Amino acid sequence: MNRTSSASPALASASATRPNRPATAWTGPRWIAHRGAGMLAPENTLAAFRLGARLGWRAYECDVKLSADGVPFLLHDATLGRTSNGRGSAGALTWDALSRLDAGSWHSRAYAGEPLPTLAAVAAFVRANGLHLNLEIKPTPGTEAPTGRAVAEAVRRLWAGAPAPPLLSSFSLRTLHAARDGAPELPRALLLDRPRRGWLECAAELACGAVVTHHRWMDASLLRQLRDAGLQALVYTVNEPDEAARLLSLGVDGIITDAVDRFTPD
């Protein structure tokens, strides 16, 4: 969930017409597993989703970006070195090259050979198991708008007819703007790592149904602002029981956590 995409305090352009904000952006359980299964399995892989499901988790957050030939796939970083045996920019390689990488050995020997998954593969798993998804769009720098539109259009296709499509979120305003234009009916959320000027206006302009903030920023005053604006409140990444209890008492709508083996999902 670490922020890697830039965002300006105001949108570069405004659409002449604004689609209606979804009445409810997040329809899943309050507890959301970060990047699949927190840190118990290699993040953003199907192995992590499978482990999370075995532990009883029904809602997940993960990161998606585009290959050089336009295939949406799961990866958090702009570069490949931290979570695969690849090197350099993830967005510079075709899907054929990316699909050959080992995205599991960095975590542990048990996951050696685990591949990077396409968004299509994740959609098949999520839909087959009745799971909920918060999909963070993490564009390779310089591809914010094309990635937002392509991911939104892919989600529209992959979740066609599904009762609960993914919640699309991003730190990048350009990405969310393009996602809105690509599939205006899909639910959207503005991601914030710190307060910045005009955030509430940006959420309204983007027709977001939710805001996802760093947990330290969430308090009764902010929650009241969000409720008054008709927005849901989600927080990341909460791993301590005392902090989770504080946020639950406030009444937030979603808590993203790595601690999938310590918290009990509802």
pLDDT tens across 5-22, in order? 333 333 332 333 334 444
Using one digit for the tens of pLDDT, what is the confidence trace for 105-144? 999 999 999 999 999 999 999 999 999 999 999 999 999 9
In terms of pTM, does the model score above 0.85?
yes
Q: What is the average per-residue pLDDT within 25-44?
A: 97
82 pLDDT higher than 70: yes
- The dihedral of CA 212, 61, 96, 83: what is its sign? positive
pLDDT more than 90, % of the chain: 89
Instruction: Provide the pLDDT for residue 194.
Output: 86
Q: Contact at 8 Å (CB) between 80 and 106? A: no
Instruction: Provide the pLDDT for residue 3.
Output: 58
Instruction: Provide the pLDDT for residue 130.
Output: 97
Instruction: Provide the pLDDT for residue 15.
Output: 32
> Average pLDDT over the chain, rounded to whole?
92
User: pLDDT band for position 242 (50/70/90)?
Assistant: very high
Residue scoring higher pLDDT (83 or 3): 83
Which residues are the active-site residues? 34, 76
List the chain domain ranges: 31-257
Of the options 1.25.40.10, 3.50.30.30, 3.40.50.720, 3.20.20.190, the CATH number for the domain spanning 31-257 = 3.20.20.190
Instruction: Provide the pLDDT for residue 2.
Output: 67
Beta bridge partners of 167: 134
Instruction: Provide the pLDDT for residue 195.
Output: 78
